[in-house]
Homo-oligomer: A and B are copies of this chain.
Amino acid sequence: MLQYALLHLFGYGVSIDDLKNFRQVDSITPGHPEAHDTPGVEVTTGPLGQGFANAVGMAIGQAHTAAVFNKPGYDLVNNYTYMFFGDGCAMEGIASEAASTAGHLQLGNLIAIYDDNHISIDGDTKCAFTEDVLKRFEAYGWHTQWVKDGDHDYEGIEAAIAKAKEVKDKPSVIKLTTTIGFGSKLQGTGGVHGNPLKADDCKQVKEKFGFDPEKMFVVPQEVYDMYHKHAAEGAAAEQEWNKLFEKYGSEYKDLHSDLARRLTRNLPEGWQNKLPTYKPTDAAIASRKLSESVLEAIHDVIPELLSGSADLTGSNNTRWKNAVDFQPPNLGIGDWSGRYIRYGVREHAMAAIMNGLSAYGTIIPAGGTFLNFVSYAAGAVRLSSLSHQRVIYVATHDSIGLGEDGPTHQPIETLAHFRALPNMMVWRPADGNETSAAYYMALTSKQTPSILALTRQNLPQLEGSTLEKAIKGGYVVLENKDANVTLVSTGSEVSLCLEAVKTLKEQGLVARVVSLPCVEVFDAQDKEYRLSVIPDGIPTMSVEVMSTLGWEKYSHEQFGLNRFGASGPYKKVYEKFEFTPEGVAKRAKATIDFYKDVKPLRSPLNRAFTQLI
């Protein structure tokens, strides 16, 4: 509510009526701030620790963008990022990961204020949180200050912020010891965390601070005047900036148009011509390597693309050959203009930092980890979706096909999880053309994040795959109008299905094969097209080496793995679970037999009613 109230005072598009509608259906003032819905809300927070890591992302965004665009006399990109956090955020692992990252990166443009009010929802922090927070931040390499009377010492706060701005080589945290619900009868207790004040308490607070206790939702004119004056100063500064930027354009034409373009979130014209395409005769390649080839091919034409990995660079193949690391120059291993981020083993912070990078507006972030460990980042991945951030998760080692690392690393539930998440594209490409298609869609979808599930093992280039077909999310790889069954599959299992077609043929059965690399994009196609892919009249069986959950939507029967995997060479693991041409064919035959008597046999895409979306 404080954030909404301040936006109102500063003149953003948040009215008194919007404030009255706080936490009401279809208001722009939901229970926690959502970047996509409310003017002036820059990141979606509420889930604890997310805002902390978002701020680190925005500070990285500033440091990088400044290094690329600032020139002598043109200090174009020079903002500080301010972030408030409380005890709850400080306890969350994601905030620890992000704080360690910010300290390593020496983000002097980041100023955090720690609201040290000693209260969390369970009451006094004494019950669970007795560490020395400032000492911890010192250990991370932060500059630390403590304002002991945060309730009254405004000058101390101002001085601390001024000092923090002077510290250029470290992020700053200011511990502000405060009283929660200051002025309320319940001040200093958990009773003021989430509940509205009672009527009599409201009145006495208003009296205490010199307001008319009987009036509600009233802002004195002098308060408006003061905030509007600040807003006018901001607007004037924006005008100045616009002039400076125009002048910059006369001196640095290319950089000017690059930055102007980035702010529209449009990609450079013709960039897609750089996407690799493949012929069936090309070598079999793991899709994590195909992804690397895409990054290699496009990084020059999409300068806003910043790649990285959570300490799995060599496995995720996220780094193009001549990449420079984003690092403080004094470490001697990169610089601020670098476009490769070493996130460390910090998956959750990586995801939330990428949300912050995307929100900054000049960057498209891509970050790698194993698909199984995208789950470590689930809290932030969810906010990529909810806040419409163009974030790309490069999720390699996408199945039991990773082999020897075994069940602790082999995703089973992961794709079902993220397919159930609204506004998320989950791509599982089957070959090179599909991998390029996945990147095409991930990069051109300005409002939707993507998870690219990529193999460790080699995949053959399919006959019949093209980028144009694959960007529909699903298409027919092998057509046959006499087919007895449709096999629908993704990623590494598409070529397995094509092998199974031969096995079935030996038994006198005819199968057609569909690749469905992205169900969310396929769902968005018109019904006629979708029914041409998964038609009425013959049964459909899905094949994917993980949980079958959700495949019932696209198939009558499902061949998958509803148990944990096994450690071993991947071909042996596939054999153990019957993911072989014979294993697929056996089940396809059972499917054909089972549906022989059903009339009419509808495509699973035919539904009685439309889903709410």
Contact = CB atoms under 8 A, between A and B. Distances in A.
Contact of A131 (B93, B139, B383, B553): B139
A25 B418 contact: no
A136 B141 CA distance: 10
Nearest to A416: B420
Given A97-B92, A609-B590, A345 B120 contact: yes
Interface in A86-120: 87-89, 91-97, 100-101, 103-104, 120
A128 B342 contact: yes
Contacts of A568: 23-27
Given A104-B130, A128-B101, A131-B141, A567 B25 contact: yes
A74 B530 CA distance: 72
Contacts of A550: 416, 420, 549-550, 552
Given A92-B93, A331-B126, A567-B25, A608 B557 contact: yes
Interface residues of A, number: 134
A363 to B, nearest CB: 19
Contacts of A94: 93, 376
A549 B376 contact: no
A120 B564 CA distance: 27
B612 A345 contact: no
A92 B556 CA distance: 42
A550 B568 CA distance: 30
Interface in A597-613: 597-600, 602, 604, 607-609, 611-613
A422 B412 contact: yes
Contacts of A559: 609
A573 interface: yes
A566 interface: yes
A249 interface: no
A563 B31 contact: no
Nearest to A328: B130
Given A34-B408, A127-B325, A613 B563 contact: yes
B311 A122 contact: yes
A10 interface: no
A412 B126 CA distance: 34
Interface stretch (A40-48, A147-155, A202-210): A40-48
A92 B345 contact: yes
Contacts of A83: none
Interface of A: 23-27, 30-32, 34, 44-48, 87-89, 91-97, 100-101, 103-104, 120-122, 126-133, 135-136, 138-141, 190, 309, 311-315, 325, 327, 331, 333, 342-346, 348-349, 372-373, 375-376, 378-379, 382-383, 385-386, 404-409, 412-413, 416-423, 539, 541, 547-550, 552-553, 556-564, 566-569, 572-573, 576-578, 586-587, 590-591, 593-595, 597-600, 602, 604, 607-609, 611-613
Given A92-B93, A93-B349, A100-B131, 15 more contacts: A25-B568, A31-B406, A91-B345, A101-B128, A122-B344, A127-B325, A127-B327, A128-B342, A133-B139, A135-B135, A375-B382, A416-B419, A552-B552, A552-B553, A598-B602
Closest 10 CB pairs of A and B: A93-B93, A552-B552, A25-B568, A30-B567, A594-B608, A31-B406, A128-B344, A96-B96, A416-B420, A413-B420
